[in-house]
Amino acid sequence: MKKILPLILLLIVGFMAGIYLPGILQNYSPAENNASEQSQTYTCPMHPHIHSDHKGSCPVCGMDLVIAKASKETAPKGEVSISPIMQNNLGIKTAIVKRRTIYRPIHSYGYIKQLEQLGTQKITAPVDATVIKIGPEKNNAEIKKGEALLVLHSPTWLAMQEQFLKALQQRNLKEIRQLTGLLKQSGMNLAEIQTLKTTKKKIPNIIIRAQKNGQLISLNVKKQQQVKRGDLLLEIAPLYPIITYAEMFEGQWQWLKPGQPALMHMRSVPDVEWTGVVQSVDDIVSSRSRTLKSRIGFKLQPGIELHSGMQTSITVLSNPHKNVLTVPYDAVIRTGIENRVIVLDNEGHFHPQRVIIGLTDDEYVEIKSGLEEGQKVVASGQFLLDSESNLLSELERMKSRTDDTADK
C-alpha cells in the first residue's frame, strides 16, 4: 500500500501539469522579458554605426543620439538613411535627371565695333490699295528673308496687269517694257511676271515680302485700312545691329563656326544679357596674340545705350548635344579615378552611383551611362553623404575581415 500511494500522487501531478503548462508557456515570451531587463539602444541619425546604451551625443558630429529602430532588413552596402527633417537641417537639395540640349561654351573677350542703326528699311505702299492681311504685328518680332509682311488689294494693280496682258496680245514691245517696269515698282518680281506671261491669269493681290532678315520696329497700318502710294507701311531694323569682334584662342578654333548662338555680358551693365549669332570667322591668325578674330552680331536691349569701343564678355555656344541626359554641374563628385553622384532611391535613402559623363557646360553635365531619366540626385550636400557612405562601406569591409579572422 505504501508503494502504491506515491505512484498515485505522481500520476495526479502529471495530469495537472498537462492541463496548465501549455497555457503558461504560450503566454511567456523570453524576448519581452529580456527587453524589459535590457536598456534601450541609441544611435546617431547621421552615423548609424555609432551605438550606445544611454542617451548622449555623437562622438563624430556631436548630434543628439536617438532611439534605434529594429529592422529585419539589411541596408544595401554604402546606403545612408536620413529623415526628411534632418535633410532640411543639413541643406540637402535634390535635382531630377532630365533631357536637354547642352553646348560646349567658348569664353572670350571682345569689343563693340559698330551699331548698325542706320540700316533701317522703310517699306511704303507701291500703289493705292487696301490692307487685307498683316503678317507679324508685334514690335521687335523676328522677320526672316522672304517672309510675307503685308497683303494688299489694289484695283490699280489689277488694271496694270490687264494692260500688260493686252500689250502681250498685241505684241506691243514698247508698252510691254513700260508695264514690266511699273509692275516691278509695284512689288511684282520677275518670277511672278513670267507666271503672268505664261498663264495669262492676273495675280489678285500684292504680297510684300521681307528683302532680308531683321526685326519689326514699327507697324503703321491696320487691317482694312486704305493707303495711298508712298504711305509708310512699316519699318524693319537689322536683326543683329550690335556688331562685335571677339578674339578666339588656338584651342577654341576647331569648335567655332558661323551661325552658332552667342551671349554677351558687360561689367558696366550688370544683370543684362544680349543674345546673338556668330556671323563670320576670319581666316588669318594674329601673329602677335595667336588669336582668331570673329564677327558676332547681337540684338538690342530696350532702354540700354551702347557705344562703339565698349569692352564685352562673350560666350559662344558651340557643338550642341541635343536631347541628352543631364544633371546639375555640382551634382557630380569627381574623385580623379571615377565620377559618381548620390542617388535618392526613396524618401531618406541615399546611395552613391558611378556614372560616365560626357559634355560639360557652365550649368549641366551630360550623363552617358549610370542614370535614368526621372531619377533624383543630390545637388547640394552630396560630399557629406558620399563621405558617410564611404565610411559605412569601409566599416563593413573591416567587419568582414574580422569575422573571417575569427573563423580561422
In terms of DSSP bridges, do strands 242-249 and 376-380 run parallel, antiparallel, or are they unpaired? unpaired
58 in the same domain as 206: no
- Final residue in a domain of this structure, among 222, 237, 252: 237
Give residue 288's pLDDT: 82
Q: For 155, phi and psi rounded to 5 degrees?
A: -60, -35
Give residue 8's pLDDT: 61
192 in the same domain as 229: yes
In a domain, 132, yes or no: yes
Q: Determine the Cα–Cα distance for residues 81 and 46; give it in Å rounded to an integer.
A: 8
Q: Domain holding 342: CATH number?
A: 2.40.420.20
Give residue 200's pLDDT: 86
196 in the same domain as 156: yes
Using CA atoms, how far residue 253 sits from 141, 283, 303, in Å, is 33, 10, 35
In a domain, 172, yes or no: yes
299 in the same domain as 280: yes
338 in the same domain as 264: no
Quote the radius of gyration of the chain (alpha carbons, Å): 41
In a domain, 401, yes or no: no
- Final residue in a domain of this structure, among 319, 352, 369: 319
223 in the same domain as 144: yes
Q: For 372, phi and psi rounded to 5 degrees?
A: -125, 155
300 in the same domain as 220: no
In a domain, 406, yes or no: no
In a domain, 94, yes or no: yes
- Final residue in a domain of this structure, among 217, 237, 257: 237
**Per-residue pLDDT tens digits of the chain, which is 408 residues long:** 555 655 565 555 555 545 444 443 344 344 444 444 345 778 887 776 677 877 888 887 778 888 765 443 444 555 666 667 766 766 778 889 999 998 888 899 999 998 876 567 888 888 889 999 888 888 778 888 888 889 998 888 888 888 888 888 888 888 888 888 888 888 788 888 888 888 888 888 888 888 888 888 888 889 889 999 889 999 888 888 899 999 888 777 778 889 999 999 999 888 899 999 999 988 888 888 888 889 999 988 878 888 889 999 999 998 888 899 999 988 888 877 889 888 887 656 778 889 999 888 888 999 999 999 999 888 876 555 555 555 445 445 444 444 444 455
Give residue 265's pLDDT: 94
74 DSSP 8-state letter: P
C-beta of residue 194 within 8 angstroms of C-beta of residue 183: no
64 DSSP 8-state letter: B
In a domain, 403, yes or no: no
Q: Domain holding 172: CATH number?
A: 2.40.50.100
Give residue 15's pLDDT: 52
Q: For 338, phi and psi rounded to 5 degrees?
A: -150, 170
Cell readout for 231 is 504711305
Give residue 313's pLDDT: 93
230 in the same domain as 129: yes
pTM over 0.75: no
189 in the same domain as 334: no
Q: Domain holding 313: CATH number?
A: 2.40.30.170
In a domain, 289, yes or no: yes
Q: Determine the Cα–Cα distance for residues 248 and 203; give it in Å rounded to an integer.
A: 51
150 in the same domain as 45: no
Number of compact structural domains in the chain:
5
User: Following DSSP, what letter does each residue of 283-322 receive, concatenated?
Assistant: EEEPTTT-EEEEEEEE---TT----TT-EEEEEEEEEEEE
Using alpha carbons only, what angle is made at residue 12 by residues 7 and 18, rounded to the nearest 5 degrees?
125
Using CA atoms, how far residue 231 sits from 133, 185, 200, 221, 226, in Å, is 17, 14, 30, 10, 10
In a domain, 193, yes or no: yes
216 in the same domain as 135: yes
* Range of the structural domain that residue 286 is part of: 103-117+240-319
390 in the same domain as 286: no
User: Following DSSP, what letter does each residue of 357-387 receive, concatenated?
Assistant: EEEE-SSEEEEEES--TT-EEEEESHHHHHH
Give residue 41's pLDDT: 79
Give residue 169's pLDDT: 86
In terms of DSSP bridges, do strands 98-115 and 242-249 run parallel, antiparallel, or are they unpaired? antiparallel
